[in-house]
Amino acid sequence: MKLLLKKSLFCFCFCFVCCLFCFCFFLVAYLIIFHILFVLFVWTYWKSIFTLPVQPGKKYHMSYADQERYENEERPEVQRQILAEIARKLPVYTRTGSGGIRFCDRCQLIKPDRCHHCTVCAICVLKMDHHCPWVNNCIGFSNYKFFLLFLAYSLLYCLYIAATVFKYFIKYWTGELTNGRSKFHVLFLLFVAVMFFVSLMFLFGYHCWLVSRNRSTLEAFSAPVFQNGPDKNGFNLGFVKNLQQVFGEEKKLWLLPIASSQGDGHFFPMRALCEAQNPLLANEEQWEDDGIDEEPHDSGEASSLAIERET
């Protein structure tokens, strides 16, 4: 009898310790995952806000002599020639809708490829994507990776909160929660988490599509114009290389808000140059693009539909 009681007591203690261990394990795991997502969320949000947009270098600014010569000239065709002469020394390949050099009269500089003037920040931003009111900053070459990671970790953070609160939401409907205040907190927290999750899901999905095609938001609405005309796939190098343009070649840095984007924001590889170096690759990419992103066959119609807006 005593032996049976000892065995029962031992089994009870063992089960109690196992349950306590499992409870502590899941509680610690929950707290660790929560704080990891929270730290990454705050870190990427901080980097998106306080990483200043990069402006074009000094070599893209007009000298005092060229600026004076350009402003004193009243004939538009001569002004275009002056800009063309200055741009010959620069790696500039995109053009305006009329075929001229992209020039910012407010910043007095030749615009590098994919550079646009932000009317809110009052500066020209390298590879400008858009001006985001949620971070009160211009999203461009310097912080586009941080912005994408901010959307991703915000999405995971909201999903994690909604998933962990959902069981308490079920208890609310089944009447297991008796405290009125806790009911309001559970409903409010679940509603906010789901609402932000849905909105962020569409925004993050759209930017993932842009990254896969190597386009900015501005380029998605208005195709960049090259010397041969508008081409919305002008910077599309393929899925892997497009990812490397934003996140870099070091995969261990992809998920961290650390600057790793390729280049300096002034020049970007173009599909036309890659095709010229590898004709076989050009044919394969052309076959892949057929039926997906077809350009209008009428050149006049294409020019009228895809004139770039200088912003």
Q: What's the predicted TM-score (pTM) here?
A: 0.80
**What is the pLDDT, as a whole number, of residue 74?**
87
As a whole number of angstroms, the distance between CA 87 and CA 82 comes to 9
- As beta bridge partners, residue 123 has 118
Contacts of 246 (CB under 8 A, 6+ apart): 144, 145, 148, 211, 261
Non-local CB neighbours of 147 within 8 Å, separated by 6+ positions: 44, 48, 129, 132, 135, 139, 207
Give me the torsion for CA of 28, 254, 112, 54, rounded to 10°: 30
Rounded Cα distance between 118 and 135, Å, is 15
Residue 307's Cβ-count burial label (10 Å; 0-12, 13-18, 19+) is middle
Reading the block at residue 210, the tokens are 């842009």
Report the C-alpha gap between 216 and 115 in whole angstroms: 11
Residue spans per domain, the chain: 34-52+138-273, 58-135
Residue 277 near residue 311, CB atoms below 8 Å: no
User: Quick one: pLDDT at residue 187?
Assistant: 84
List the pLDDT tens digit at each of the 311 positions of the chain: 665 555 566 565 656 566 666 657 677 888 999 999 999 999 999 999 999 999 999 999 999 999 899 989 889 899 999 999 999 989 999 999 888 999 999 999 999 999 999 999 999 999 999 999 989 999 999 999 999 999 999 999 999 999 998 888 888 877 776 666 777 788 888 999 999 999 999 999 999 999 999 999 999 999 999 988 999 999 999 999 999 999 999 999 999 999 999 999 999 999 876 655 554 444 444 434 444 343 333 333 333 323 333 44
Question: CA 207, CA 204: separation in Å to the nearest integer?
Answer: 5
pLDDT at 177: 67
What is the spatial distance between Cα 30 and Cα 229, in angstroms, rounded to a whole number?
A: 54
* Partners of 49 in beta bridges: none
Catalytic positions, written as ranges: 132
Contact of 306 with 218, CB cutoff 8 Å: no
- Whole-number pLDDT of residue 193: 94
pLDDT at residue 3 in the model: 59
pLDDT at 2: 60
DSSP 120: T
Question: From CA 103, how far away is CA 87, in angstroms rounded?
Answer: 10
CA 160 – CA 9 distance, rounded (Å): 39
- Note the pLDDT of residue 183: 76
